[in-house]
Amino acid sequence: MNRDDFEQLRRRFGEDVAAWPPPYRQEARSFQEGNGTDDDLDRLLRAAIDAPADERALARKVLSRIEGSRRPAHVLSASLRHMPSSAVAACLALVLMVAAAAGYRLGGRGPEAANDTLLAFAAGEPSGLDDIVESLGSVGDEL
């Protein structure tokens, strides 16, 4: 019980604590015996401060739980973890280049299409863009 609870109960049941219902009466008496300044949280905090604790043992326990719960999030990440970072970067660059080449081949046009488009943008030639759109064939009709 804290001071606000005590004041609320006093307004509800009156000034005479002896006339309050038994559970509230008991709490009010213990509150008054504590001079009305000590609420439950303060009491628990004071008890926790006085309790001896081994910080090193607690840290070891926490670290052991962290180490025990570590597992790779994905199979690929577990295998990449043991590879040097330069090898991982080279593999990712190779995958990116293969994906780009496959995209150009599946799209039916070579890398020249990207160069033509960039050149048309740089030159400010809207007619160059029209030629590219027309050369796309059926895809140009959708645009």
On the question of pLDDT at 94 being above 90, the answer is yes
Alpha-carbon distance of 80 to 90, in angstroms, equals: 12
pLDDT of residue 54: 80
Alpha-carbon distance of 96 to 102, in angstroms, equals: 10
| Pick from 16, 11, 56: nearest CA to 32 | 16
* 21-40 pLDDT tens trace: 888 888 888 877 776 555 66
The pTM (predicted TM-score) of the whole model is 0.28
Cβ–Cβ under 8 Å, residues 28 and 20: yes
* 102-138 pLDDT tens trace: 877 766 665 666 777 777 777 776 655 566 566 665 4
On the question of pLDDT at 8 being above 60, the answer is yes
pLDDT of residue 125: 67
What does the block give as tokens for 81?
């973890």
Alpha-carbon distance of 44 to 51, in angstroms, equals: 11
Which residues, including other chains, have CB under 8 Å from residue 77's CB and lie 6 or more apart? none
